[in-house]
Structures are given as C-alpha cells and as structure tokens.
Amino acid sequence: MDHLSHALDEALLSNLECPVCTEYMVPLINLCTNGHNICSKCREKVQCCPTCTAEFSNIRNVTLENIARRQRYPCANRQSGCLHLFSIEHIAEHEAFCTYGKIVCPLRKVNVECHWRGFKCDFEEHAKAEHPTYILRSPKFVSRLLRGSAALVLCFGEVFLYNKVVRDGKYYCVVQLIGPRSEASKYKCEFKLYVANSIEQISKTFTVRSYVEDFETSFNSGKCLRLDDVVVRHFVLEEELSLTITLSKV
C-alpha cells in the first residue's frame, strides 16, 4: 500500500510541474484555451502557452489547485539528501533553513552588501571573518544610537538578527532568529527603555520572530517594539538612548 501511495504521489506531482520553470505549481494555476496549465509567476512572463502556443484564458484550474493544497511536496534539496515532504503552507519555510540547502547572508536584510551564500552551519564563521563589527555574544546588550542600527547576536547556540529602524516619527525594534518559526517561538525578547536615576521606564516583551518573516510584516503586526519619537525622547540623555535588549528562552 505504501508503494502504491508513493506512486500516486509521484504521478500527481508530475502533473503539478510547470512547463516553463519546472517548479511545482501552487494556487493560482492558470489555463490556456486548450486546457494546458502554467504557474501564476510564469503566466506573467510569457505571451502564449509554452505547450501549444495558444492564448491564455482567464480561467483557473480549480480542481488542480485543490489537489495542490492537499499534496505534500518534496524539498527542493531532495537531490542533496533531504527526504522530507511538506504541505504548501510549510514547504517554503523549511527550504529557507533546510540543512541540505544554502542561505544568503542575513545582513543583506539590513542593507549590508554581501554576496555570501552557504550553509547555515557555516554562517557564524563567515560573520566572524567578514562582519565582526556586527557581532554581539551576550543575550543582553544595550542600544544607544538614536538612529537605526543592526547586530548579529550569537547566543544559545543560535544566531539572532537585531534590527532597529527609525522612520516617520516612530522607532521599530525587532529580533529574528536565523531559523524557522517553530524554533523562534522558543525564545523571547525583552526591550527596556529607561534613564539613569529616574523611576520612569518602558518594558515590553515579545516572542522572537523568524528570519523568514520580512521586517515590514513584523513592524505592522504589532508583535515588536514600536514607539513614537515623542515618547522615546523622554528617555534620551546626552543624545544617547538606554535601550536594553534581553534574549532568553521561553
């Protein structure tokens, strides 16, 4: 029975391959006037059906889309040894941190020009060699700059990316784990803003976010530190902040 199930999965997957990019199609799946399929990304790039040169219709293959939602997909790193299967909802996140795949330098997310691409297990050595000024080794550190800043925090055997952005009269601070959401949820981050010799302080704690989440999503979710400039200015002393960030396990 397992052999039969595997054969059926392989047959379904072959029908889900896009004829242009050869990647597995996920909703939305478009059709040409003769009924051939193409993925939504390639539909925007080509003028006619790559299978029969017919025009594209405005009809979607809803039946195949429903099959795609129920199908489990092999990891893109299957040829390198990864044998796991995932649903549409989870395959992208897995592939982003698959131990058989490669990642780009996380500092590119904070506009650092770096062309490194390699395995996650090798990133720490890369960071030490190429980005030593960004490295912090304590789970507790202080951010004093009034402008935006970023850091790589190496602790708990993991790599975290800290990012502070100042724009439109607001301060945004977030910490992301270089790993999947399932691992990120095991850590929390406390932000504490204070001034020496004052009883006033602001303290907020959030679950660490995953690196697969873009910063805009984190900032707009309300699940990171977000303060108005007028509030932050109450905690500035001699043009410096005292913003303490503390990472810990949940």
CATH numbers and ranges of domains, the chain: 2-71 (3.30.40.10), 130-249 (2.60.210.10)
Q: Is 53 within 8 Å of 81 (Cβ atoms)?
A: no
CB neighbour list of residue 40: distance below 8 Å, 6 or more residues apart:
27, 28, 29, 30
CB neighbour list of residue 173: distance below 8 Å, 6 or more residues apart:
143, 162, 163, 164, 165, 191, 224, 225, 226, 243, 245
Q: What is the mean pLDDT of residues 23-33?
A: 91
Q: Letter for the amino acid at 64?
A: L
Q: What is the mean pLDDT of residues 90-117?
A: 88
Distance in angstroms (rounded) separating the CA atoms of residues 175 and 189:
7
Q: Which residue has the higher pLDDT, 92 or 29?
A: 29
Place 3 in a pLDDT band, splitting at 50, 70 and 90. Answer: very low
Place 5 in a pLDDT band, splitting at 50, 70 and 90. Answer: very low
| No. of helices (H) and no. of strands (E), the chain | 8, 19
Q: Is 236 within 8 Å of 198 (Cβ atoms)?
A: no
Q: Which residue has the higher pLDDT, 1 or 29?
A: 29
pTM of the model: 0.71
Place 98 in a pLDDT band, splitting at 50, 70 and 90. Answer: confident
Distance in angstroms (rounded) separating the CA atoms of residues 176 and 103:
15
What local confidence, expressed as pLDDT, does residue 112 receive?
A: 95
For 216, other C-beta atoms within 10 Å of its C-beta total 10
- Strand pairing category for 117-118 and 135-136: unpaired
For 111, other C-beta atoms within 10 Å of its C-beta total 8
Q: What is the pLDDT of residues 64-84, one digit of tens each?
A: 999 888 888 888 888 778 888
Q: Is 24 within 8 Å of 73 (Cβ atoms)?
A: yes
Place 170 in a pLDDT band, splitting at 50, 70 and 90. Answer: very high
Q: What is the mean pLDDT of residues 82-96?
A: 85
Q: Is the pLDDT of residue 8 over 60?
A: no
Q: What is the mean pLDDT of residues 181-191?
A: 94
Q: Is the pLDDT of residue 4 over 70?
A: no
What local confidence, expressed as pLDDT, does residue 7 receive?
A: 46
For 191, other C-beta atoms within 10 Å of its C-beta total 22
Q: Is the pLDDT of residue 31 over 90?
A: yes
Place 9 in a pLDDT band, splitting at 50, 70 and 90. Answer: low
Distance in angstroms (rounded) separating the CA atoms of residues 183 and 161:
14
The pair of three-digit structure tokens given for residue 90, joined into one six-digit string: 């989870």
* Residues 34-56: b if buried by 16+ CB within 10 A, e if exposed: eebbbbeebbeeeeebeeeeeeb
Distance in angstroms (rounded) separating the CA atoms of residues 219 and 172:
7
Calculate the alpha carbon distances from 99 to 102, 108, 131, 177, 186 in Å.
8, 20, 22, 15, 19
Place 212 in a pLDDT band, splitting at 50, 70 and 90. Answer: confident
Q: What is the mean pLDDT of residues 157-177?
A: 95
Q: What is the pLDDT of residues 33-59, one digit of tens each?
A: 999 999 999 999 999 999 999 999 999
- Calculate the average pLDDT of the chain: 90
What local confidence, expressed as pLDDT, does residue 79 receive?
A: 78
